[in-house]
């Protein structure tokens, strides 16, 4: 049974408990860097969070928006998390995370081993900047 509290909980502790950040240290660093906002305001990690508030947190390349439904001071399993937050993150954020960021310049099939001397020369030829005239 999760340890549900009736009063208030530190924001960094709640973000960690509902699995938005992997560690409390990451939650604290995100708050201090201004990546976490509560109702549109930048907040400090020790700020108390209350039920009904909307929390926006930048997690990697995506910005998660959640509504606080319940307070926790201990980390819970992923199956229990929906009881304590409502995910308001737009689907476009999840799609953006799924898209590959950089297309590879060369598609070398897995299992082909190291490039040969000839392969390396071809790569260098393509990677070499064009001479200025």
Q: Tell me which of 124 and 13 has the higher pLDDT.
A: 13
Confidence of residue 71 (pLDDT cuts 50, 70, 90): very high
Report how far apart, in Å, the C-alpha atoms of 48 and of each of 7, 74, 112 are: 9, 15, 55
For residue 1, pLDDT over 90 is answered with no
User: pLDDT value at position 95?
Assistant: 81
Distance CA 68, CA 45 (A): 16
Q: Lay out the sheet containing 36-38: strands in order across.
A: 41-42, 36-38, 54-59, 62-68, 85-87
User: pLDDT value at position 37?
Assistant: 97
List the domains of the chain with CATH numbers: 9-98 (3.10.290.10)
Q: Would you tell me how many other CB atoms lie within 10 Å of the CB of residue 70?
A: 14
């Amino acid at each position: 049974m999760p340890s549900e509290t009736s009063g208030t909980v530190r924001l960094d502790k709640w973000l960690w408990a509902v699995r938005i950040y992997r560690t409390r240290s990451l939650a604290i660093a995100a708050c201090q860097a201004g990546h976490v906002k509560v109702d549109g305001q930048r907040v400090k990690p020790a700020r108390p969070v209350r039920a009904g508030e909307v929390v926006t947190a930048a997690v990697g390349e995506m910005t998660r928006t959640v509504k606080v439904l319940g307070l926790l001071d201990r980390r819970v399993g992923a199956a229990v998390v929906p009881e304590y937050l409502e995910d308001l993150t737009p689907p476009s954020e999840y799609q953006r995370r799924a898209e590959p960021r950089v297309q590879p310049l060369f598609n070398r099939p897995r299992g082909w081993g190291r490039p040969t001397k000839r392969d390396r020369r071809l790569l260098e030829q393509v990677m070499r900047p064009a001479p200025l005239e």
